């Protein structure tokens, strides 16, 4: 009879990914990566990705099943996007209904989503790289909640309705909130179920 081998428990982390970092641990030598923030365990993976220019809540785990579940269309992801210009009700309604975007030279109609204009800018720390000067015109903020995650989808959706994204911050994944977590902070949690 073989001796029983105890399987180590999976580990889970939340990170407030800063602007300018890749959502990975290895890769291009000149790019900033997540491993610079913490001594993560072997087998750690980002659940979904935030592109280099995006910020906010990123979930990390050593549990592949948990990663698959959270990346599924069953779990909502909420983003706050700062837009070039003052978005109007018509543009918000078009995003809510679904807009056509391009994904790797293929046209794709986004699923209906929850979207609304934020009446006041969120209280985020200034980005490490300035977005632009006020002299370039007004900006506005929207909340967009998706259950799908196509390549650069939020940016493509806001551009499709005439309001390019200047800053993008993920604030929620399922029931897990970014809250007041400082930029670059890493928190180990017992579970990723919020």
Instruction: Tell me how far apart the alpha carbons of residues 129 and 168 are, in angstroms, rounded to a whole number.
Output: 13
Is 63 a catalytic site residue?
no
Q: Tell which residue, 143, 142, 154, has the closest CA to residue 177.
A: 143
Q: Give yes or no for a contact between 59 and 17, defined as CB atoms under 8 angstroms apart.
A: no
Identify the active-site residue in 39, 51, 84, 134. 51
Reported in sequence order, the residue ranges of 122-181 that DSSP labels E, i.e. its strands, are 139-146, 165-173, 176-177
Specify the 3-state DSSP secondary structure of 180.
coil
Active site residues: 51
């Amino acid at each position: 009879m073989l001796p029983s081998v105890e399987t180590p428990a999976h580990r889970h982390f939340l990170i407030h990914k800063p602007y300018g970092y890749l959502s990975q641990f290895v890769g291009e030598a000149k790019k900033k990566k997540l491993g610079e923030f913490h001594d993560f365990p072997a087998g750690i993976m980002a659940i979904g990705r935030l592109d280099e220019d995006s910020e906010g809540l990123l979930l990390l785990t050593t549990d592949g099943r948990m990663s698959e579940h959270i990346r599924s269309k069953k779990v909502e992801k909420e983003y706050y996007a700062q837009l070039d210009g003052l978005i109007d009700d018509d543009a918000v309604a078009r995003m809510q209904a679904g807009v056509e975007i391009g994904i790797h030279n293929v046209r794709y109609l986004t699923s209906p989503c929850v979207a609304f204009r934020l009446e006041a800018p969120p209280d985020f720390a200034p980005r490490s790289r300035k977005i632009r000067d006020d002299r370039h015109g007004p900006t506005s903020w929207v909340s967009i909640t998706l259950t799908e995650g196509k390549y650069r989808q939020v940016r493509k959706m806001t551009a499709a309705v005439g309001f390019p994204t200047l800053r993008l911050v993920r604030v929620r994944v399922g029931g897990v909130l970014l809250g007041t977590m400082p930029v670059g902070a890493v928190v180990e949690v017992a579970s990723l179920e919020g």
